[in-house]
Structure 1
Amino acid sequence: MSDETPLSAEILRRAPKVLLHDHLDGGLRPGTVAELADAVGYRDLPTGDPAELGRWFRAAADSGSLVSYLETFAHTCAVMQTEEALVRVAAEAVEDLAADGVAYAELRYAPELFVERDLSLDAVVEAVQAGFAEGTQRVVAAGGRIRVATILCAMRQHARAMEIAELAVRHRDAGVAGFDIAGPEDGFPPSRNLDAFEFLRRNNAHFTIHAGEAFGLPSIHEAIQFCGAERLGHGVRIAEDITTGPDGEVHLGRLASYVRDRRIPLEICPTSNVQTGTVPSLSEHPIGLLARLRFRVTVNTDNRLMSGCTMTSEFAALAGAFGFGLDDLRWFTINAMKSAFLDFDARLALIEKVIKPGYAALG
Structure 2
Amino acid sequence: MKIHLIANMYPSKEAPSYGVFVKNTEKILESAGFEIDKTVLTKSNSKINKLVGYGVYFSKIVLKGLFNRYDYTYVHYAAHNSLPLLVLKKLKKNVKIVTNVHGSDVVPEVPSQEKFQPYVKQLLEKSSKIITPSQYYKDLVIEKYKVNTPIEIFPSGGVNKSVFHKKENKRELFKEYGLVDDVRYIGFVSRIDVGKGWDILLDAISLLKKENSLHNVKFVIVGDGKQRDEFDKKMKDLGIEEDIKRFSLLPQPALSDIYNCIEAFAFPTVRKGESLGLVGLEAMACGAPVIGSAMGGILDYVEDGRNGLLFSPGSSEELAMKIKEYFLLDEADQEKMKKEAVSKANEYEVENIKPMLISVFK
TM-score relative to the length of structure 1: 0.33
- As a proportion of its length, which structure holds more helix? 1
RCO higher in 1 or 2 (8 Å CA, sep ≥ 6)?
1
TM-score relative to the length of structure 2: 0.33
